[in-house]
Structure 1
């Protein structure tokens, strides 16, 4: 099972904070460093130091790490024009030597759009669909050819479809592209998009008794498109709170404003043995990859504990 570190910088983090976590992620042997793509703190608390832009952050980390995968869970389709997003992701992929992944979603947090003057249309699924068509289409257009798109939301005419990512598309190795992560809890449209565009399907913070059902829905959508469901990676994102003993679990839970019992129920939490058992249960439900949501970015000893005591028992 792959273990990836997943951060929420909008809750209060500078680039230097994220750099420290990303470099620890790499040194400790985790598979990847991912971050959310939000511009406003959620819930009460000091909003400082303010938001950091996801793709600006990942561009910096691309030059200050050498092994780990880098990506977003998830970039909102409302934040960037798809042509601009395709350029940004391709450039960061080049800067990283081919280590980037793009999680792309419809967006949901209306308040951050209001705070920074970003349009937030009521209906966004069409935007997301066209963005996936355009971004993957631009990357996959052979060099020397032109890309055109005439849709309900976007029109691209005579685009040179440059720059290209370093990586090859997981769906078509003959073309350029980066792994695309699609996720969500929707019963029909989201699985259909994942089957069409994604190399990974993710469910974030789901009720654990629904995980197998959500994975099965994507597998069925793949079969409808005559795509092999095994071409996708199936992943979950869960908050992590692990301690060497119960008192340490309680201390870490208090530091992020949560209760140990609630975290055990809804995340990967508890002692090392409990965390290993929970990750094993997630694997039994079909999860091949787990994004561990780290909410206290200054507690690098937490990452060290998971890497030393939990991760070796999964491999």
Structure 2
């Protein structure tokens, strides 16, 4: 199983904080560094303030050499699809082909209001999300020299040259969430990875079943769709260290043990083993205390070798 660091900078982080984490993660052997794409914190004051995800990743692309970089996930409500396709392709070039795009319908109403972004009803957000997936994948895959036009209910693109192209032949696209119908259908049609997050094992199994059924209905081999799990992660060498780290992020230990990756290295390895039995092959370890670089090292040294 691949282990990927997942951060929430909107809760309060400077670029220097993220740079320290990504450098430590790269040195420690993590497969990837991902960040959320949000403009407001979920709690607290979020100081020194939010940062734009793709601006951040562009900077980190030039400061790293191996680790993959991406968003989990960019809301389709934040950026026009042709502009996002250009941004991601440019960061892919800056990283020499290490970028992945997690894309979702958007859900956090308050940040849209705060930044003057439209926030339609869920059905329209999913319609926009689907159009974005169609436009972005088409712009990246169309032959050089051709022009792309799309006339949708929510997006219009006319004679776009589809440039620049990403360095990668196919930028991995991550789709995820708990939607029972459209989310698995869109993943089956467009995604290279389906992400399941912040839920117990029974719910993981249910979502895996739905997306595999959607693949079969679309005529796609389910084995071609990677499955991943994202969870708040707290690991300690003993129960006291676990309790200290849980307290540091203001979390509830009972909830973390049910819906996250929480405990001693042995306990977390067991949890990852149960996820692997359900078909999950990569885990996004959400680390909320970005100053705790020892935590990054502990997961790498005591968990990663047992699940690699």
Same fold at TM > 0.5: yes
The separation in 2 between residues aligned to 1:213 and 1:234, in whole angstroms, is 13
Provide the residue aligned with 1:306 in structure 2: 299
Q: Is the 8 A contact 2:85 2:140 kept in 1?
A: yes
Q: Deviation of residue 261 (structure 1)?
A: 2.8
Q: Is the 8 A contact 1:69 1:101 kept in 2?
A: yes
Provide the residue aligned with 2:133 in structure 1: 132
| SS of residue paired to 1:302 | helix
The separation in 1 between residues aligned to 2:265 and 2:146, in whole angstroms, is 54
The separation in 2 between residues aligned to 1:306 and 1:6, in whole angstroms, is 13
Provide the residue aligned with 1:62 in structure 2: 61
Indicate the RMSD between aligned Cα atoms, in angstroms: 0.9
Is 1:168 paired with 2:161? no
Residue by residue over 1:12-66, the C-alpha shift from the partner in whole angstroms, topping out at 9 and shown as x without a partner, is 00111111111111000000000000000102x2321100100000000100001
The separation in 2 between residues aligned to 1:217 and 1:271, in whole angstroms, is 32
The separation in 1 between residues aligned to 2:162 and 2:20, in whole angstroms, is 35
The separation in 2 between residues aligned to 1:135 and 1:186, in whole angstroms, is 22
Q: Is the 8 A contact 1:272 1:310 kept in 2?
A: yes
| SS of residue paired to 2:290 | coil
For structure 2, the 5+ residue unaligned runs are: none
Residue by residue over 1:157-190, the C-alpha shift from the partner in whole angstroms, topping out at 9 and shown as x without a partner, is 1111111000012xxxxxxxx1100001111111
Counterpart mapping for 1:16-55 below 5 A: 16-43=16-43, 45-55=44-54
Q: Is the 8 A contact 1:260 1:270 kept in 2?
A: no
Greater alpha carbon shift after TM alignment, 205-214 vs 10-19: 205-214
The separation in 2 between residues aligned to 1:184 and 1:145, in whole angstroms, is 34
Is 1:90 paired with 2:85? no
TM-score, L = length of structure 2 = 0.98
The separation in 1 between residues aligned to 2:23 and 2:41, in whole angstroms, is 24
Corresponding pairs, count: 306
| SS of residue paired to 1:33 | strand
Provide the residue aligned with 1:144 in structure 2: 145
Provide the residue aligned with 2:227 in structure 1: 234
Q: Is the 8 A contact 1:35 1:54 kept in 2?
A: yes
Residue by residue over 1:82-136, the C-alpha shift from the partner in whole angstroms, topping out at 9 and shown as x without a partner, is 0100000000000000000000000000000111111111230000000000001
Match of 2:206 among 207, 213, 217: 213
Q: Is the 8 A contact 1:250 1:259 kept in 2?
A: no
Q: Is the 8 A contact 2:68 2:99 kept in 1?
A: yes
Provide the residue aligned with 1:268 in structure 2: 261
Q: Which has the higher contact order (CA 8 A, sep 6+)?
A: 2
Q: Is the 8 A contact 2:200 2:258 kept in 1?
A: no
For structure 1, the 5+ residue unaligned runs are: 170-177
The separation in 1 between residues aligned to 2:35 and 2:275, in whole angstroms, is 22
